[in-house]
Structure 1
Amino acid sequence: MRASTIKVIATAAFAAMAASSIASAADLRPRYTKAPPPIVEVWTWDKFYVGVNGGYSWGRSDTSGTFYNNTTGVQLSPTQSGNINLDGAVLGGQVGKNWQFGNWVAGIELDGQWTDEKGGRPFTCATGIACNNVTFGPGLGVAPTTSFNQHIEWFVTLRPRVGVLVTPSALLYVTGGLAVAGINTDGVLSGVTAASLPTSVAWNNDATKWGWVVGAGVEARLGGNWTGKLEGLYMDYGSVSGSPVLTTSNIPLRFDYTSKVTDVVLRVGVNYHFGNSIVAKY
């Protein structure tokens, strides 16, 4: 074999080895891959929800009462009027649905409450023959009276809500709609018989009154599907009235009353929203 041939073969082998070394070095260089986009949870208010609430209420009963002769219809004493405080605790629950439009949230809510709002005052018929025709004995000059107790036993409201998001998970809202309440009024009407003996009758009136409600509140996410809220409401239930009678007294008595009932409620609550939050990739 000629020396020139050996030289060509050696040169080719050296070139092949050099190319292999360069390729191996290239394989050892670090490789970079693009990181996956982060997954971000975005809270949405567009859900059904249920919840519970509790608080305190300051009810008011603007009440007027007048004694009449039940036989003749003649007024026996001047009309007496004044405000009765119907204050007490409230406890209940709510269900609702929200719809979200960007930073605006609209919804509707139905809630029902048990209440301990109650109060009362006495009413007295003027003494003398106008209210008491007894002319002898221990009943002479005794003024007829009635106790008067009122209790807002329960209420229900159905209210649209409209609010704006101050953050994605905090909502300020106003609300208003229908209100209905169960109002119980009772007492004992007392007088004196013709024989100068005490006589009385217990009376009771249950009324279901429809009215209206307005209010405002703030609701914010607590974590997971839970939110908490603080809410104030003003309710007007209209008027309740009644006319208990005491026919055994001398003079037969009738007590006519009318009460305009309003209510101010401050309560806190928690809601559970059904469905998952939106999961977005950025």
Structure 2
Amino acid sequence: MKASALNFLAMAAFSAIAVSPALAADLPVKAPPPVVEVWTWDKWYVGLNGGYSWGRSDTSGTFYNNNTGAQLSPTQNTTLHLDGGVFGGQIGKNWQNGKWVFGIEADGQWSGEKGSALFTCVTPNAAFGTLCNPITGGPGLGVSPTTTFNQEIEWFATFRGRVGGLVTPTALLYVTGGLAVAGINTSGVISGFNAIQAPTSVAWGNDSTNWGWVIGAGLEARLGGNWTGKIEGLYMDLGSVSGAPVLATSNPPLRFGYTSDITDVVVRAGVNYHFGGPVVAKY
């Protein structure tokens, strides 16, 4: 009797163990919470850019007798178009607060912007005193002294703040502004005639580092992963450059005084790599 009871209990335990996995398989399994990547602009970034620039140099130039200081010719005004390509890189940091993004950015650019003009020393009347070229014969007869005038924005950099609003979570429309600095080279050749009516000339040049200001606007959007692309336009006022090269061997000795007010419009596109991954949100 006791043996039969023990056999019955053993068979019941074995049946329970065999059935348990099947019952567990029929129970509903709770799915893990979904993982969602949330893009954030709150990061450091570096990038490259390239584009085109339309510079403008409003230049005035005047010829003087370098010995007496007398003005030999009326002041001439011209506009040089300093157009060319630009290429460079940028580094920056953003801070995000809801749909608003605040940031700082610095960039450095190589520039191929350049233009040229020609200034001629002419004396239309006696009001300017000594003639530009008082020669009565020889190769200088009827030939006015001149100077070529070449100007180039060789490089520039900007240091700006940025403020923008999110059009979508991954697209930022922003305005920007701050300081600008540029390397400007101005050069040329003054040509005239000396006291024995022989041609004479001298090459001249001047390098200037100019500080100014910059404003602009742009659109930046996520391309995928940690990469964004942007397009922006900038307006820069780079102040003025001036100089007074001299041709001491001419008759009379010539001095050419010039002043250039330089502005620039830049349109460029670029890409940025943002350090740090997206925020992972679990629901």
Q: TM-score, normalising length from structure 2?
A: 0.89
| Structure 2 CA distance for aligned equivalents of residues 127 and 72 of structure 1 | 16
Amino acid at match of 1:41: E
Equivalent position of 2:45 in the other structure: 49
**Native 8 Å contact 1:133 1:194 kept in 2:** no
Tell whether the 8 Å contact from 2:43 to 2:94 is kept in structure 1 after alignment: yes
* Matched pairs, number: 265
Query: How do 1:150-165 and structure 2 match up within 5 A?
Result: 150-165=151-166
* CA offsets 1:165-203 (integer angstroms, 9 cap, x no match): 111110000000000000000000010011011000000
From the CA coordinates, give the structure whose radius of gyration is larger: 1
Q: In structure 1, the residue corresponding to 2:26 is in which secondary structure?
A: coil
1:38 aligns with 2:39: no
Distance 1:141 1:247 in 2: 20
Report the aligned-residue RMSD. 2.0
The residue type equivalent to 2:80 in the other structure is I
The structure 2 residue matched to 1:97, chosen from 93, 98, 101, is 93
Q: Is the 8 A contact 2:72 2:123 kept in 1?
A: no
**What letter is aligned with 2:54?**
W
| Aligned amino acid, residue 102 of structure 2 | A
Q: Structure 1 pair 29/110, CA: closer, same or farther in 2 (3 Å)?
A: closer
The residue number in structure 1 matching 2:74 is 78
Q: CA–CA distance in 2 between the matches of 1:192 and 1:28?
A: 109
Any conservation in 2 of the 1:106–1:161 contact (CA below 8 Å)?
Answer: yes
Q: How does 1:88-127 map to 2 (within 5 A)?
A: 88-126=84-122
Tell me which residue corresponds to 1:193.
194
Deviation of 1:272 after TM superposition, in Å, equals 0.5
Percent of paired sites with the same residue: 72
Partner of 1:59: 55
Secondary structure of 1:269's counterpart equals strand
SS of aligned partner of 1:45: coil
CA distance in 2, matches of 1:65, 1:211: 23
Aligned to 2:231: 230
Equivalents in 1 of 2:221, 2:88: separation in Å? 20
Residue 30 of structure 1, CA deviation = 2.6
Residue type of the alignment partner of 2:95: W
Taking the aligned partners of 1:256 and 1:249, their CA distance within structure 2 comes to 16
Question: 1:28–1:157: structure 2 CA closer, same or farther, 3 Å change rule?
Answer: closer
Residue 140 (structure 1) aligned with residue 114 (structure 2): no
Q: CA deviation at 1:127?
A: 5.2
Alignment partner of 1:205 is 2:206: yes
More divergent stretch after superposition (38-47 vs 121-130):
121-130
Q: Report if aligned partners of 1:127, 1:141 keep a CA contact under 8 Å in 2.
A: no
How far 1:140 moved relative to its partner? 1.9
1:167 corresponds in structure 2 to: 168
Read off the aligned partner of 1:180 and give its amino acid letter.
V
Give the secondary-structure state (helix, strand or coil) at the position aligned to 1:249.
coil
- Give the match for residue 10 of structure 1: none
Per-residue CA deviation, residues 41-88 of structure 1 (Å, 9 max, x unaligned), is 111111110000000000000000000010111101111002110000
The 3-state SS of whatever aligns with 2:139 is coil
What SS is found at the alignment partner of 1:195?
Answer: coil
Q: Provide the residue aligned with 2:268 in structure 1.
A: 267
CA distance, structure 2, for counterparts of residue 62 and residue 153 of structure 1:
18
CA distance in 2 between partners of 1:166 and 1:266 (Å): 21
Amino acid at match of 1:220: A
Q: Distance in 1 between matches of 2:37 and 2:98?
A: 16
For the residues of structure 1 that align with 2:25 and 2:87, how far apart are their CA atoms?
70
